[in-house]
């Protein structure tokens, strides 16, 4: 999830777990602990983009990191922040839950997390929540602001924190329910349209959990489509994109390419843009793809010019977004 969501959720959990004993320190400690796994951003200072893709949400988002971070944070907090206020067992529970919630929540996005590093490089991704969803984050942010501003003697502090956490849990459940509904229609369409699918996934489009982006792999390429939970028609219109592996033959042994293939989990295409060879990771969607079925993919890596890949994952995420693009998204969400 985005950093704001982790900060405000961490603060609310901190208040619920230790507000009575720690005061507003509980909010700060919760926000810091919940943000800790994203310390992996420092790897971008010395890794090239292809390697950094695998480092992000890698070891610092693993269960082993949770187990290591909790006692370290507990010892620091007990000695320097609030000595003797909580037992070591309570500190371990406080920090262990915060870090665990971070790595658990990130698994709901398309990027995926390496829960089992360093023992396995496989990534877990439920593809049920977009990385930034205002409907998830806004109520948490309101509760967080209330906790920061309200006095320690305010009778509704604990209630506000609990309601925020409840909203978080219910919204995750709502996203999963929407996904299951969409998945049922997706599989029906594969059968009805006789698409020879080998693997597929569905994931929410930007900023909502109603309109879903679908990618279905075949031996020759991928079918891309969109499905809203409000669609009245059962038919999903798919657009085919050739994988075009033959374009990679001259650079088949390049290290960056091997990292990109591993990162994409097989959901990729290769295109030629003028004199530039481009690797697309399909998991992150298209630039306004619900309006332009042949739109470029958000994640595109310049194999011919690697020096131009400072920003990769969200490159062009909101390119072309204006009032008309926003209206088209709202209309497509509504099932039109």
The rounded distance, in Å, linking the Cα atoms of 194 and 201 is: 17
Token pair, residue 45, equals 């200072």
Reported as a single tens digit per residue, the pLDDT across 172-194 is 999 999 999 999 999 999 999 99
The rounded distance, in Å, linking the Cα atoms of 156 and 146 is: 10
Count CB-CB contacts under 10 A for residue 129: 28
Phi, psi torsion values for 166, nearest 5 degrees: -65, -45
Reported as a single tens digit per residue, the pLDDT across 180-236 is 999 999 999 999 999 999 999 999 999 999 999 999 999 999 999 999 999 999 999
Is pLDDT at 312 greater than 70 in this prediction? Answer: no
Angle, vertex CA 37, rays to CA 263 and CA 33, nearest 5: 160
Contact present, 30 and 98 (Cβ < 8 Å): yes
Range among 52-56, 243-247, 296-300, 320-324 rated most confident = 243-247
pTM of the model: 0.93
pLDDT for residue 79: 95
Helix (H, G, I), strand (E, B) or coil at 128: coil
Token pair, residue 220, equals 């020759």
pLDDT for residue 245: 95
pLDDT for residue 159: 98
Is pLDDT at 270 greater than 80 in this prediction? Answer: yes
pLDDT for residue 317: 72
Is pLDDT at 107 greater than 80 in this prediction? Answer: yes
- Which of the two residues, 110 and 305, has the higher pLDDT score? 110
pLDDT for residue 43: 80
Alpha carbons within 13 A on the beta-carbon side of 15: 31
pLDDT, the chain, mean: 94
Smallest CA-to-CA distance from 115 within 105, 127, 103 is with 103
The size of the chain, in residues, is 336
């Amino acid at each position: 999830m985005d950093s704001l969501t982790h900060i405000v959720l961490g603060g609310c959990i901190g208040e619920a777990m230790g507000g009575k004993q720690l005061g507003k320190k509980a909010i700060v400690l919760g926000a810091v602990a919940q943000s800790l796994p994203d310390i992996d951003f420092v790897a971008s200072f010395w890794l090239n983009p292809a390697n950094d893709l695998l480092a992000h949400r890698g070891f610092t988002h693993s269960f082993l990191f949770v187990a290591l971070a909790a006692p370290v944070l507990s010892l620091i907090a007990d000695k320097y922040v609030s000595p003797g206020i909580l037992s070591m067992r309570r500190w371990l529970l406080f920090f262990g839950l915060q870090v665990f919630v971070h790595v658990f929540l990130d698994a709901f996005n398309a990027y995926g997390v390496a829960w089992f590093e360093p023992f396995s490089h496989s990534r877990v991704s439920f593809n049920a929540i977009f990385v930034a969803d205002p409907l998830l984050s806004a109520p948490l942010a309101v509760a967080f602001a209330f906790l920061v501003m309200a006095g320690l003697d305010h009778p509704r502090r604990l209630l506000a924190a609990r309601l925020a956490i409840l909203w978080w849990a219910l919204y995750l459940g709502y996203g999963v329910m929407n996904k299951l509904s969409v998945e049922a229609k997706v599989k029906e369409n594969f059968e009805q349209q006789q698409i020879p699918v080998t693997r597929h996934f569905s994931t929410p489009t930007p900023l909502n959990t109603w309109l879903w982006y679908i990618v279905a792999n075949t031996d020759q390429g991928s079918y891309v489509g969109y499905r809203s939970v409000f669609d009245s028609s059962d038919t999903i219109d798919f657009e085919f994109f050739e994988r075009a592996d033959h374009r990679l033959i001259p650079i088949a042994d390049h290290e960056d390419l091997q990292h990109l293939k591993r990162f994409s989990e097989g959901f990729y295409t290769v295109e030629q843009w003028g004199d530039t060879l481009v690797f697309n990771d399909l998991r992150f969607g298209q630039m306004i793809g619900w309006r332009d079925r042949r739109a470029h993919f958000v994640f595109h890596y310049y194999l011919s010019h690697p020096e131009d890949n400072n920003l990769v994952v969200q490159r062009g995420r909101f390119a072309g977004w204006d009032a008309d693009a926003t209206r088209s998204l709202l209309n497509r969400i509504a099932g039109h």
